[in-house]
Amino acid sequence: MSRVVSILGSTGSIGKNTLDVISRHTEHYDIMALTANTDYATLADQCLQWRPHYAVMSDETAAQQLDDYLRKHGCETQVLSGVQGLCQVASLDEVDTVVAGIVGAAGLLPSLAAAEAGKRILLANKEALVMSGQLFMDAVEKNSAELLPVDSEHNAIFQCLPVAKSSTVSTAGVNKILLTASGGPFRTFSVEQLVSVTPEQAIAHPNWSMGPKISVDSATMMNKGLEVIEAHWLFGVDIDDIEVVVHPQSVIHSMVSYMDGSVLAQLGNPDMRTPIAHALALPERIVSGVEPLDIFEVARLEFERPDFQRFPCLRLCYEAIRMGGAASIVLNAANEVAVAAFLDKRIAYTDIASMIEQALTSPAVDEDVTTINEILSVDALTRAIVDEYVARK
Evaluate whether residue 179 is within a structural domain: no
Evaluate whether residue 374 is within a structural domain: yes
Q: Among 90, 120, 149, where does a domain finish?
A: 149
Evaluate whether residue 14 is within a structural domain: yes
Convert the pLDDT of each residue in 22-64 to its tens digit. 999 999 999 999 999 999 999 999 999 999 999 999 999 999 9
Q: Residue 141, Cα to own-chain centre: how many angstroms?
A: 20
Count of helix runs (H) and strand runs (E) in the chain: 17, 11
DSSP 364: G
Q: By percentage, how much of the chain surpasses pLDDT 90?
A: 86
- Strand pairing category for 78-81 and 252-258: unpaired
**How big is the CA angle at 148 (ends 277 and 282), to the nearest 5 degrees?**
45
DSSP 312: H
Which structural domain, as residue segments, surrounds residue 65? Answer: 3-149
Convert the pLDDT of each residue in 197-248 to its tens digit. 999 999 887 766 677 888 899 999 999 999 999 999 999 899 999 999 999 9
**How big is the CA angle at 88 (ends 85 and 92), to the nearest 5 degrees?**
150
Number of separate domains in the chain: 2
Taken in order 210, 287, 153, 96, the sign of the CA dihedral is: positive
Q: Among 132, 149, 166, where does a domain finish?
A: 149
Residue 83 gets the label, from left (phi > 0), alpha (psi -120 to 50) or beta, of alpha
pLDDT of residue 167: 46
The backbone torsions φ and ψ at residue 89, rounded to the nearest 5 degrees and listed phi first, read -75, -20
**How big is the CA angle at 83 (ends 13 and 222), to the nearest 5 degrees?**
45
CATH code where residue 21 lies: 3.40.50.720
Q: Among 107, 128, 149, where does a domain finish?
A: 149
CATH code where residue 391 lies: 1.10.1740.10
Evaluate whether residue 340 is within a structural domain: yes
- Strand pairing category for 263-267 and 252-258: antiparallel
Evaluate whether residue 113 is within a structural domain: yes
Convert the pLDDT of each residue in 88-126 to its tens digit. 999 999 999 999 999 888 899 999 999 999 999 999 988
pLDDT over 70 (residue 376)? yes
Evaluate whether residue 221 is within a structural domain: no
pLDDT over 90 (residue 162)? no
DSSP 290: P
Evaluate whether residue 369 is within a structural domain: yes
Evaluate whether residue 94 is within a structural domain: yes
Separation CA 255–CA 283 (nearest Å)? 20
